[in-house]
Amino acid sequence: SQQGEEDPQALSIQEGENATMNCSYKTSINNLQWYRQNSGRGLVHLILIRSNEREKHSGRLRVTLDTSKKSSSLLITASRAADTASYFCATDQKTSGSRLTFGEGTQLTVNP
Amino acid sequence: DGGITQSPKYLFRKEGQNVTLSCEQNLNHDAMYWYRQDPGQGLRLIYYSQIVNDFQKGDIAEGYSVSREKKESFPLTVTSAQKNPTAFYLCASRQDRRNTEAFFGQGTRLTVV
């Protein structure tokens, strides 16, 4: 079963705008991670937030985690056409050893 | 260069055949994973391994088999029992400890002909 569920499924914005994607999960986690996938390629890790952290920044990325609501959000500020990709959240569950479970992803399109 | 390599990039299988997808890493990672991705969908976990000679089923293990005889290698066999094997297969690895990121290969696209 999928642990993470992202919304929206697809998001289309103009260059320069901010993009926000959300992820919800079901069980207790050690951490939550966000990955990016360009079409037909492997995934690239963006950012990891631990269960005891509430917010984390990396360049134009900002991730929040609310463990009481079992949800996370990824904000990309000042988006660029090159940010066009699919974005996935992944959860590292407390009771599942090394298991890493991904959600369905959000397809982001940034129009020039 | 350190990394994770999947081969081949494209693979064609006739119905009823078994095929094996290769995944090799030189990152000295303990944990390795196989995921399946269908068009426009997320990643579904097939199998994962935390250590040599040990592996666990994921959410969609039926019709697949794996081995982990060496730390750097985690091949996936798609058997004839897998009725709908056409998909994009992704291999990943990471250190087997808390709060580590996964590194992915570039994927193998398998098509049944």
> pLDDT digits over B4-62, tens only?
999 999 999 898 899 999 999 999 999 999 999 999 889 999 999 999 999 999 999 99
Question: Which of A33, A42, A103 is facing B90, going by the closest CB pair?
Answer: A42
Which residues have CB under 8 Å from B50's CB, separation 6+? A97, A98, B30, B31, B56, B96
Lowest average pLDDT, out of A23-32, B83-92, B94-103, goes to B94-103
Q: By CA distance, what is B105's nearest residue in A?
A: A42
* Contact call for B88 and A2, based on CB within 8 A: no
User: Could you tell me where the beta strands, DSSP code E, fall in chain A?
Assistant: 5-7, 10-14, 19-24, 29-37, 43-50, 55-58, 61-66, 71-76, 85-93, 100-102, 106-111
pLDDT band at A1 (very low <50, low <70, confident <90, very high): very low
B99 has pLDDT over 90: no
Among A43, A87, A89, most B C-beta atoms within 10 A, so best to mutate, is A43
B83 has pLDDT over 70: yes
Q: What percent of chain A has pLDDT above 70?
A: 96
* Contact call for A100 and B105, based on CB within 8 A: no
Q: Which of residues 83-112 of A touch B (CB under 8 A)?
A: 88, 90, 92, 97-105, 107
